[in-house]
Amino acid sequence: MIRVLFVCLGNICRSPMAEGLFTKRIKDLNLDNKIYVESRATSSWEVGNSIHEGTKNILDQYEIDSKHMRAKQITNRDFETFDYIIGMDQNNVDTLISMNPNYKYKVYLYLDICVNNHKKSIFDPYYTHDFKKTYDDIILAMDLWINKFINDIKNWLTIIYY
């Protein structure tokens, strides 16, 4: 199983939105036994708090239950157990690498998978108040990431069986 962790500054806006949207998409594709997702924060500022109302409203539109979502900060154990640690902006990626440089090979910038996209960071809707734009950015790359995860599963199986 591929284990994916989405990370933003506070874990109340972007990363839980990605977690909820990916979880639903993965389940709809019947891949929930192959891909597992969670989300975390680089900071401790919001730990224990519920997700932002703007993120909750987006997830509610798609009938995604967010009642269980509470902000958590990334731990050293997370670096060990997750296969992909995906930062929502360059500051998140830089912070993640500085937190645990031994696992920098697991750290990715979310929009980097969109080769022709000139925008690389998903702006924080906590400051922009544009939760719809955050949603659009997440959706833009979602299936590209899922295809990458599926291809990696196939590659890993090939290595194991040959």
Q: Would you please indicate which residues are annotated as catalytic (active-site) residues?
A: 8, 14, 124
**Amino acid at site 154:** K
Walk across the sheet containing 35-41 and list its strands: 35-41, 2-8, 84-87, 107-109
Write down the H helix ranges in the chain: 14-28, 53-61, 76-81, 90-99, 125-128, 131-161
- List the beta strands (DSSP E) in 11-53: 35-41
Give the phi and the psi of residue 26 in degrees, each rounded to 5: -65, -40
- The string of DSSP codes covering 21-56 is HHHHHHHHTT-TTTEEEEEEESSSTTTTPBPPHHHH
- CA 90 to the chain's CA centroid: 14
